[in-house]
Amino acid sequence: MAAERGRPGASPRPACLSKPFLKIVATGALLCGAALPSHSGSLQERLAPCLACHGESGRSETPEVPSLGGQPPSFLLIQLYVFRERQRIAEPMNELTKDLTDDDLRSFSDELAKLPAPVAAGPADPARMAMGAALSARHRCGFCHSPDFSGQNQIPRIAVQREDYLVKALREYSTQERRGYDPSMVEIARQLSEADILDLAYYLANWR
C-alpha cells in the first residue's frame, strides 16, 4: 500500500507501551502524574513516565510518539488539555492525563518545555530534502511554525520531529480524523497528497 511507503519504524507497539508497562501505569506505580489519589512526589518524579516514552533528552525513541524537546509551553498545555478532556483521542494519553488539575497541566507543560530540542543526525538525501523544501515553501509551513520550524506560542516545533509521527499527524489532519484545537492544520493538510506528506515529513525530520 502506497500509504506505507517510506514509513520508518514499523514495530507494532513501543516497549514503553507494552502491556506490562501499561499495567504498571494502571496501578499507579509508574504514572505520568495521573490518577494518583494524592499527587505525591516531585515534579521530576511525576514526569518520569512521560519521558519514558517521549524521551528523557527531548528526543523520542518510541515509534509514533513525538519528541517533546523544544516545544513551546503553550502548545504543550493545549495538548495536555485536549487529552484530558478527550477532545483529542490518543491512548494512553487520555488515561494518563484524566486526573490532572489545571495547575498540573501548567507545571507539566512549563517543565517539559525545558527539554532540549532534538538535533538532526546522520545523512539526509539531498533530492528528498529539496522536494520537502519546495513543498514547505509552497504550503508556507514556516509562516506559522517559524522559518526554522521551532514553533511559536500554541504552534508546535516540527523541526527534527520523528518522521513517523509527522506522517501520522499530517495524515490525521488531512482526513480530519484529527481536527485540531484550532482548525488551521486541517485547512492546510487536506491539500496534501500522500506523497506530499511523506516528503514533508522526511524534510522536517531531517531539517538542520
As given in the structure block, the three cell numbers for residue 21 are 508497562
> What backbone phi and psi angles, to 5 degrees, belong to 19?
-55, -45
Q: Identify which of residues 26 and 130 has a Cβ nearer to another protein in the complex.
A: 130
DSSP string, 7-18: -----SS-GGGS
What's the min distance (Å) between Cβ of 158 and another protein? Answer: 11
Handedness of CA 10, 89, 46, 106 (dihedral sign): positive
Nearer to another protein, 21 or 145 (CB): 145
Q: Are 72 and 110 within 8 A, CB to CB?
A: no
Is the alpha carbon torsion for 10, 11, 12, 15 positive or negative? Answer: negative
Which of 165/207 has CB closer to another protein? Answer: 207
**Nearest approach, Cβ of 38 to another protein (angstroms)?**
22
CB of 121 to another protein, least distance (A): 9
Q: How far is the CB of 163 from another protein (least distance, A)?
A: 16
CB of 13 to another protein, least distance (A): 28
User: Using CB under 8 A as the criterion, which residues of the chain lie in contact with another protein when the complex forms?
Assistant: 74, 77-78, 81-82, 85-87, 102, 105-106, 122-124, 126-127, 129-131, 133-144, 147-149, 152-155, 176, 179-184, 186-188, 191, 207-208
Residues 6+ positions from 119 with CB-CB distance below 8 Å: 160, 208
Q: Are 114 and 120 in contact (CB under 8 A)?
A: no
Nearer to another protein, 57 or 184 (CB): 184
**In contact, 208 and 129? CB cutoff 8 Å:** no
| Residue 149 Cβ vs another protein, minimum distance, rounded to whole Å | 7
Which letter, b or e, does each residue of 146-181 get, where b requires 16 or more Cβ atoms within 10 Å of its Cβ? beebbbeebbbbbbbbbbbbbbbbbbbbbeeebebe
Rounded Cα–Cα distance for residues 68 and 112 (Å): 7
Residue 63 or 72 with smaller CB distance to another protein? 72
**Residue 100 or 115 with smaller CB distance to another protein:** 100
